[in-house]
Amino acid sequence: MTAASHSSKAGAALAEGGWEVPSPCRVLGIETSCDETAAAVVVDGRDVLSSVVSSQTDLHSRFGGVVPEVASRAHVELLTPVVAEALVEAGVDGSNVGAVAATSGPGLIGSLLVGLSAAKALALVWDVPFVAVNHLEAHLYGAFLEDPALELPLVVMLVSGGHTMLVAMEGHGRYRLLGQTIDDAAGEAFDKVARFLGLDYPGGPAIDALAVEGDPKAADFPRSMLAEGYDFSFSGLKTAVITHVRKHPDQAVADVAASFQEAVVDVLVAKARRAARDVGARGLCLAGGVAANSRLRERALDACIEDGLQAFVPNPAMCTDNAAMVAAAGWWRLRADGPSSLGTGADPNLRLPLLG
Ligand code: KG4
Ligand code: ZN
């Protein structure tokens, strides 16, 4: 792998850097930012040879949320077998892996350090580049794994347990923040409401499954800040659900779940559509764990058809945390910036790199 003189590569800002990546480049991706221990091998940022995810959900469910110390200890135990499985499934070893990428933030500091240290050690042993990956950018590239033919600009709605952002993507690595949540993230609202309703952890999938049997019009929950700008607020909705259930204790939980979910989806889809129209986007992309929500996917796809937008809605396994998205984002970053320094630390508060 050699540093190239700054040859311009059409169309992609992230690809305009000075690093030439020979093809095929098999990138081992490692993801340990929260409670999934994951490893994957992806070729040239798009072909997934393997993607192994070991979820720690059972370990954390009795606490109703992720316990950081429990998470990092579990990553230490699980990472070696998970990486071994990803390599075997992909049919690769140290002799033909081209780079090792790992999430460096945002996330839980102890958990991030486990994956990051392992990735640096493997890169050193195999004498290949190490690439530090931003978890938020990785979610974005999860959306492009199935359909890399981007038509820019795009509006990306990144909805996860920790983030809710509307971003205009003008090129690879060129993001402009349009709006974000002013209080709870969308996934956090799903998790908190589910916990109040006595549903399983994590709450998003539990509400999604139960809502199928419920009436989304059963309760009239607020659509906060629906007509105002691109920012979101979900904490009032959470309070409204609690107040409603206390007043109507006999109402079917499925009806409450469906009505809550509809309120969240109404706001997300309305703002994403408006943003796409206002920035003249060619497409709309969903990313992050909440993008696995069946009602959000259905409504976003309908909106894209109605508005003539290209839709990037990754399959549900690519929405929640996984390492294929890390390997894909790592490949794009390697092309743009070259290898990361082995001195790169974990950053629990790492932000998406934004323009201007
Ligand atoms: O992206 P992710 O796996 O981890 C973070 O980076 O936060 O997102 C996890 C979040 C959790 O809040 C979870 O409840 C939510 O995504 N989630 C869902 C669904 N699947 C996961 N929310 C709604 N519907 C789903 N089907
Ligand atoms: Zn995530």
Query: Are the C-beta atoms of 204 and 293 separated by less than 8 Å?
Result: yes
* Rounded distance from Cα 216 to ligand 1 centre (Å): 20
CA distance 272 to 185: 15
Quote the pLDDT of residue 47. Answer: 95
Is residue 105 lining ligand 1, measured as CB closer than 6 Å? no
Q: What angle do CA 20, 12, 312 make, to 5 degrees?
A: 120
C-beta atoms surrounding 62 within 10 Å: 8
Mean pLDDT of 342-355: 95
Quote the pLDDT of residue 92. Answer: 97
Is residue 153 lining ligand 1, measured as CB closer than 6 Å? no
Q: Is the predicted pLDDT of residue 128 greater than 90, yes or no?
A: yes
* Rounded distance from Cα 287 to ligand 2 centre (Å): 9
Best CA proximity match to 311, nearest among 155, 174, 167: 155
> Within 13 A of 23's CA, how many CA atoms are on the CB side?
6
Is residue 288 lining ligand 1, measured as CB closer than 6 Å? yes
Write the residue with the smallest CA distance to atom 1 of ligand 1.
Answer: 289
Mean pLDDT of 93-100: 95
Is residue 165 lining ligand 1, measured as CB closer than 6 Å? no
* Rounded distance from Cα 187 to ligand 1 centre (Å): 5
In Å, what is the CA distance from 5 to each residue of 16, 17, 18, 99, 161?
Answer: 11, 9, 6, 20, 41
Q: Is the predicted pLDDT of residue 1 greater than 90, yes or no?
A: no
Is residue 160 lining ligand 1, measured as CB closer than 6 Å? yes
Dihedral sign from CA coordinates of 100, 105, 111, 114: positive
Q: Give the pLDDT confidence of 3-52 residue by residue, as tens digits.
A: 333 333 333 345 456 678 889 999 999 999 998 999 999 999 999 999 99
> Within 13 A of 350's CA, how many CA atoms are on the CB side?
23
* Residue to probe by mutation, ligand 1, list 51, 135, 141, 160, most atoms within 8 Å of CB: 160
Mean pLDDT of 80-99: 97
Q: Give the pLDDT confidence of 177-214 residue by residue, as tens digits.
A: 999 999 999 999 999 999 999 998 889 999 999 999 99
* Superfamily of chain region 152-281: ATPase, nucleotide binding domain (3.30.420.40)
Q: Is the predicted pLDDT of residue 161 greater than 80, yes or no?
A: yes
Which string of DSSP letters, residue by residue, matches 269-296?
HHHHHHHHHHTT-SEEEEESGGGG-HHH
Does the N-terminal peptide bond of residue 22 adopt cis geometry, omega within 30 degrees of 0? Answer: no
* Rounded distance from Cα 21 to ligand 1 centre (Å): 33
* Rounded distance from Cα 321 to ligand 2 centre (Å): 5
Mean pLDDT of 339-353: 96
Residue range 3-141+320-337, CATH number = 3.30.420.40
- Percent of the chain with pLDDT strictly greater than 70: 95
Quote the pLDDT of residue 16. Answer: 53
* Rounded distance from Cα 114 to ligand 1 centre (Å): 22
Atom of ligand 1 nearest to the CA of 319: 1
* Rounded distance from Cα 138 to ligand 1 centre (Å): 15
Q: Comparing 48-62, 230-244, 320-334, which segment has the lowest mean pLDDT?
A: 48-62
Quote the pLDDT of residue 139. Answer: 93
Domain parsing of the chain, residue ranges: 3-141+320-337, 152-281
Q: Are both 3-141+320-337 and 152-281 of the same fold?
A: yes
Quote the pLDDT of residue 270. Answer: 97
Dihedral sign from CA coordinates of 151, 354, 232, 265: positive
Quote the pLDDT of residue 113. Answer: 98
Atom of ligand 1 nearest to the CA of 194: 14
Is residue 289 lining ligand 1, measured as CB closer than 6 Å? yes
Q: How many residues does this entry show for the chain?
A: 356
Is residue 321 lining ligand 1, measured as CB closer than 6 Å? yes
Helix (H, G, I), strand (E, B) or coil at 53: strand
Mean pLDDT of 339-350: 97
Write the residue with the smallest CA distance to atom 21 of ligand 1.
Answer: 289
Q: Comparing 58-62, 120-124, 132-136, which segment has the lowest mean pLDDT?
A: 58-62
Q: Give the pLDDT confidence of 221-247 residue by residue, as tens digits.
A: 999 998 889 999 999 999 999 999 999
Q: Is the predicted pLDDT of residue 58 greater than 90, yes or no?
A: no
Is residue 261 lining ligand 1, measured as CB closer than 6 Å? no
Best CA proximity match to 187, nearest among 111, 292, 290, 256: 290
Quote the pLDDT of residue 253. Answer: 98
pLDDT band at residue 98, thresholds of 50, 70 and 90? very high
* Rounded distance from Cα 202 to ligand 2 centre (Å): 13
pLDDT band at residue 145, thresholds of 50, 70 and 90? confident
Secondary structure E strands in the chain: 2-3, 19-20, 26-31, 36-43, 47-55, 99-105, 130-134, 154-159, 164-171, 174-180, 283-287, 310-312
227 token code pair? 């007509």
Ligand nearest to the CA of 162: 1
Query: What is the residue-averaged pLDDT of the chain?
Result: 92
Q: Give the pLDDT confidence of 263-319 residue by residue, as tens digits.
A: 999 999 999 999 999 999 999 999 999 999 999 999 999 999 999 999 999 999 999
Write the residue with the smallest CA distance to atom 10 of ligand 1.
Answer: 161
Quote the pLDDT of residue 220. Answer: 96
Question: pTM for the whole thing?
Answer: 0.90
